[in-house]
């Protein structure tokens, strides 16, 4: 099997890590072949370009990338308009740090809740901590239209797929989280976000 000639994304239609890459592609208006792969499966075409068989995987000619944050940054540099990371080094570093914190704190909780092997007490605890943490940061969304930014960024691309899944996670945000709820309503209405949704994700809300 030769190189993949057109930009192709192997994506799990239910996974928030795949969703974030689809969101970057949609926000940039990049034409990309999306191949849906169910979790735990690895078609031969994917196995050939990614030794781990993980999703999402982005393929472009002889290039194959398979860590979601690496894929997102590559897309931002490869297709610079609109930019999804700040221009200045300090601001870029802060954005990367926010993405790291989302990964470490919130993504870890989401993965724990959704993992069928997680025991119920641990799931209940993770759900409680995630709800409290999101409620706690809600005031940060009162001053700016996006997460600590005037512009939509890769940070939002990491956060929004999690927020879209709150009903699936069994989490309902309380009324004091209104700034975060308003941010969700604004962001979910974006054409790019709507385009990024798989059929399986659309039914989550």
- Write the pLDDT tens digit of every residue in 110-154: 999 999 999 999 999 999 999 999 999 999 999 999 999 999 999
Write down all domains in the chain, each with its CATH number in brackets: 4-78 (3.40.30.10), 89-190 (1.20.1050.10)
Region 66-89 average pLDDT: 95
Length of the chain: 205
- Mean pLDDT estimate for the chain: 95
Model confidence at 3, pLDDT cuts 50, 70, 90, reads low
CA distance 54 to 27: 23
- Top pLDDT among 65 and 4 is at 65
Residue with tokens 């879209």: 164
pLDDT of residue 1: 45
Query: For residue range 24-58, what is the model confidence (pLDDT) as tens digits?
Result: 999 999 999 999 999 888 888 898 999 999 999 99
Region 151-177 average pLDDT: 97
> How far apart are the two ends of the chain, measured CA to CA in Å?
39
Query: Please, which residues bridge with residue 61 across strands?
Result: 4
Region 4-10 average pLDDT: 87
Q: Check: CB of residue 54 under 8 Å from CB of residue 6.
A: no
Task: Check pLDDT > 60 for residue 203.
Answer: yes
Query: For residue range 61-70, what is the model confidence (pLDDT) as tens digits?
Result: 889 999 999 9
| Percent over 90 (pLDDT), the chain | 90
């Amino acid at each position: 099997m030769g190189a993949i000639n057109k930009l192709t994304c192997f994506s799990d239609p239910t996974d928030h890590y795949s969703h974030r890459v689809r969101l970057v592609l949609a926000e940039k208006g990049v034409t990309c072949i999306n191949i849906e792969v169910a979790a735990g499966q690895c078609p031969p075409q994917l196995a050939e370009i990614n030794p781990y068989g993980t999703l999402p995987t982005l393929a472009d000619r002889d290039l194959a990338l398979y860590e979601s944050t690496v894929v997102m940054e590559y897309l931002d540099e490869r297709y610079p308009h609109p930019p999804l990371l700040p221009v200045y080094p300090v601001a870029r570093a802060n954005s990367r740090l926010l993405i790291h914190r989302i990964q470490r704190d919130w993504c870890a909780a989401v993965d724990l809740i959704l993992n069928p092997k997680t025991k119920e007490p641990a799931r209940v605890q993770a759900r409680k901590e995630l709800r409290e943490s999101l409620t706690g940061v809600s005031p940060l969304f009162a001053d700016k239209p996006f997460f600590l930014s005037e512009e939509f960024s890769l940070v939002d691309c990491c956060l929004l797929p999690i927020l879209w899944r709150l009903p699936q996670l069994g989490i309902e945000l309380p009324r004091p989280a209104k700034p975060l709820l308003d941010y969700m309503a604004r962001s979910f209405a974006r054409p790019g976000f709507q385009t990024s949704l798989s059929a399986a994700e659309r039914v989550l809300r």
